[in-house]
Amino acid sequence: MGKTLYDKVWQTHVLAGEEGESQLIYIDLHMIHEVTSPQGFESLRTEGRHLRAPEKTIATVDHNNPTVDIWNVEDALSRQQIATLERNCKDFNVELMDYGGADQGIVHMVGPELGATQPGKTIVCGDSHTATHGAFGAIAFGIGSSEVEHVFATQCLWQKKLKTLGVKVTGELQKGVYSKDIILHLIHTYGADFGAGYAMEFFGDTIDNLSMEARMTMCNMGIEFGSKVTMIAPDEKTYEYLKGRRKAPVAFDEAVEYWQTLYTDEDAEYDAYIEIDVSDLAPYVTWGTTPAMGLEFGEAFPEASDHNIERAYEYMELEAGQTAEDIPLEYVFVGSCTNARLEDLVEGAKYLKGRKVADHITAVVVPGSRRVKLEAEAMGLADQYIEAGFEWREPGCSACISMNGDTIPPFMHCASTTNRNFEGRQGPNSRTHLCSPAMAVLAAVKGKFYDTRLDDQEVKSHEAIYSA
Amino acid sequence: MKPFTVHKGRLVALMNDGINTDQLMPSRYLSHIEKKGFGKFLFANWRYLDDEESVPNPDFPLNYPEHQGASILVAGDNFAGGSSREHAVWGLMDYGFRVVIAGNYNDIFYNNSLQNGLLAITLPKEERVALSELPPETEITVNLETQTIETPEATYHFDINQENRHKLLHGIDDITQTLEYDGVISAYEHKWNDFYQPQDRAERQA
């Protein structure tokens, strides 16, 4: 019987153990940041162990750095945590992307931008959104701090092979509908824990047509579907993306030859399989406190059929029968490892055209990395956002995790391009509504959620008039 | 890691589904660089009425007088989804929990709990509901050797992967075990390091 993409990458990395039990797998890339690494480094010291492969470890600061003025970290604990990472990287000879330098940014932006994220690799990081890197055909997953320490000391991990879940996505997305909407649709349809215990693989013509950025968005949110690992087989777009990047393999053509063998065989079988057609998919907005509590734009929020939904309505101060248009938005946040790549900012800007942010809305753009910020500035995108009334910030995780001074004020409703709408995620009593960057930007200028498909036509007809 | 064999204690129930790691350990407490002291911050958004963790919320079950000292947490389905933060486990342990009983767990959290000797048990909903309805003073025995939860009224059996059970029973340190595989690890590196040689390192060496 044939093998899945996951099987192929997994097999190459198994060093010990029987299938069905925990197996020792080699880790090709370990990305670290300031929040989940200090305890691991400290244990290395107390146990007298050394870091096995510093050259396969890369570090960046992202969770704690402020985004208004990165040089003024007000919180003493945050300062200490950043300084601890700097000292640890120095002591253990790990490359740290310079604070404020061109390579710094959210850890899941940095790996691909450097070309360190590659097909066929095993990649881990003490952060659940490590699944993002699976968009390149890697087995990439989040780990806890004890596992961070284990990788430090051994460059390996004991893991039980996951079951596989194949997700075929077909159909052409309408204008104004994005990969973020596909993943929110999947989570809504099947539930936030559907993928638990599975390595999920996306494929199908819709996936083939997505850019690397859009694929990363889908894999990033695989964890919100419960899947620890999410993958997409590499293709020409993947190789093109990686070519010439600083940490791409020196023997690039040889690498491509190997990468071309990384796909699911036609006669391979997944342990579970689902298929969706996205031709008629509408943009999504979440109304509740899990990513599964979302609906296509225009659909009425459901009746409270259990205590979880009741609780969500109480927290969000919304009720059954309302629609996304009724959400009293006061804040718009474009940022995070889900949707703060250059393409996201380009798509969002399409909806700005000569418009201003509504008076009652605070709107903020936080590019995911310094590279994205600089490119967006060079392209004139930053000016467009600033002229429309957005705040244009320094890169970082920012209000997605709200541990750096950036929070959504209590009880405010925020259109957010992030990945989690959990209670208090973006600050105590914050009310997060997940959506695509286009939806968020359009909401900022309209003052409320609006259908990006309709607006795209408005923008297009406007353009048509201009060019006529 | 502390071994886990038999634990006797009282339980507290939070039967909501989807209790995630942002609830278990809100992000604002993640800037601490130690593993200790996180118990005070466990469930902080629900447990306190202020930001300084000084005004307990009287309506939150962990704060009820009859649940003080409880060491077994009974919860709903899809427990501890979200962030990979091990701080959630450190918080549960530091608070005094040794056992969590839920419908199912996020994969990363489950691994984290194993690493710290927190026993995460899966039980069907009706059995969890029965446990949650016991009088608060009831003493419960969780026995990993016999894979049972004993109450004065009933005994519940739970399943656990035998390898994980063995590790917990003996408090095995993964790293020591893995370091014995140095030979195969080096062999992998010998075979693949050149292949993964990045351009920037190749340039530095040239």
In a domain? residue A458: no
Tell me what pLDDT residue A468 has. 46
| Nearest beta carbon to residue B28 from set A55, A250, A403 | A403
Mean pLDDT taken over chain A: 96
For residues A102 and A181, state if they share a domain. yes
For residues A259 and A339, state if they share a domain. no
Residue with tokens 């009724």: A326
Query: Is the model's pLDDT at A193 over the cut of 90?
Result: yes
For residues A263 and A296, state if they share a domain. no
Sort out which chain A residues have CB atoms less than 8 A from B161's CB and list them. Answer: 160
For residues A231 and A311, state if they share a domain. no
Query: Is the model's pLDDT at A360 over the cut of 60?
Result: yes
Q: Verify whether the Cβ–Cβ distance A16 to B184 is below 8 Å.
A: yes
Q: Verify whether the Cβ–Cβ distance A35 to B32 is below 8 Å.
A: no
Sort out which chain B residues have CB atoms less than 8 A from A155's CB and list them. Answer: 185, 189
Nearest Cα of chain A lies from the Cα of B184 at a distance, in angstroms, of 6
A62-88 mean pLDDT: 95
Q: Which residues pair with B79 in a beta bridge?
A: B105
Q: Verify whether the Cβ–Cβ distance A156 to B82 is below 8 Å.
A: no
Tell me what pLDDT residue B180 has. 94
Tell me what pLDDT residue A441 has. 98
Q: Verify whether the Cβ–Cβ distance A428 to B26 is below 8 Å.
A: yes
Q: Which residues, numbered 123 to 152 in chain B, qualify as contacts with chain A under a Cβ-Cβ cut-off of 8 Å?
A: none
For residues A361 and A420, state if they share a domain. yes
A25: tokens are 């797998």
% of chain A at pLDDT higher than 90 = 95
Q: What is the pLDDT of residues A448-458, one digit of tens each?
A: 999 999 987 77
| Known binding-site residue numbers of A for [4Fe-4S] cluster | 337, 397, 400
In a domain? residue A348: yes
Nearest Cα of chain A lies from the Cα of B162 at a distance, in angstroms, of 9
In a domain? residue A465: no
Query: Is the model's pLDDT at B95 over the cut of 60?
Result: yes
Sort out which chain B residues have CB atoms less than 8 A from A143's CB and list them. Answer: 84, 108, 111
Query: Is the model's pLDDT at A110 over the cut of 80?
Result: yes
Confidence of residue A464 (pLDDT cuts 50, 70, 90): low
Query: Is the model's pLDDT at B58 over the cut of 80?
Result: yes
For residues A268 and A407, state if they share a domain. no
Confidence of residue B172 (pLDDT cuts 50, 70, 90): confident
> Predicted ipTM?
0.93
| Nearest beta carbon to residue A150 from set B175, B188, B194 | B175
In a domain? residue A462: no
A134-138 mean pLDDT: 98
In a domain? residue A460: no
Sort out which chain B residues have CB atoms less than 8 A from A141's CB and list them. Answer: 108
Which residue of B107, B163, B179 is the best one to mutate when testing the A interface, meaning the one whose CB has the most A CBs within 10 A? B107
For residues A259 and A139, state if they share a domain. yes
Please check whether residue B201 touches A, CB under 8 A: yes
- What chain B holds in terms of domains, given with CATH numbers, is 6-172 (3.20.19.10)
Which position has the higher pLDDT, A354 or B10?
B10
For residues A177 and A29, state if they share a domain. yes
Tell me what pLDDT residue B168 has. 95
Boundary of a domain, candidates A230, A245, A275: A275
Sort out which chain A residues have CB atoms less than 8 A from B175's CB and list them. Answer: 47, 49, 149-150, 153-154
Sort out which chain B residues have CB atoms less than 8 A from A245's CB and list them. Answer: 199
A219-234 mean pLDDT: 98
Q: What is the pLDDT of residues A238-271, one digit of tens each?
A: 999 999 999 999 999 999 999 999 999 999 999 9
Tell me what pLDDT residue A456 has. 73
Tell me what pLDDT residue A167 has. 98
Domain count, chain A: 2
For residues A261 and A297, state if they share a domain. no
For residues A206 and A152, state if they share a domain. yes
For residues A369 and A239, state if they share a domain. no
Query: Is the model's pLDDT at B84 over the cut of 50?
Result: yes
In a domain? residue A57: yes
For residues A270 and A298, state if they share a domain. no
Task: State which residues form the domain around A407.
Answer: 285-446
Q: Verify whether the Cβ–Cβ distance A247 to B199 is below 8 Å.
A: yes
In a domain? residue A105: yes
Tell me what pLDDT residue A460 has. 63
A421-434 mean pLDDT: 96
Boundary of a domain, candidates A257, A275, A293: A275
Q: What is the pLDDT of residues B109-134, one digit of tens each?
A: 999 999 999 999 999 999 999 999 99
In a domain? residue A383: yes
Boundary of a domain, candidates A237, A253, A275: A275
Tell me what pLDDT residue A182 has. 98
In this structure, what CATH number is given to the domain that contains residue A255? 3.30.499.10
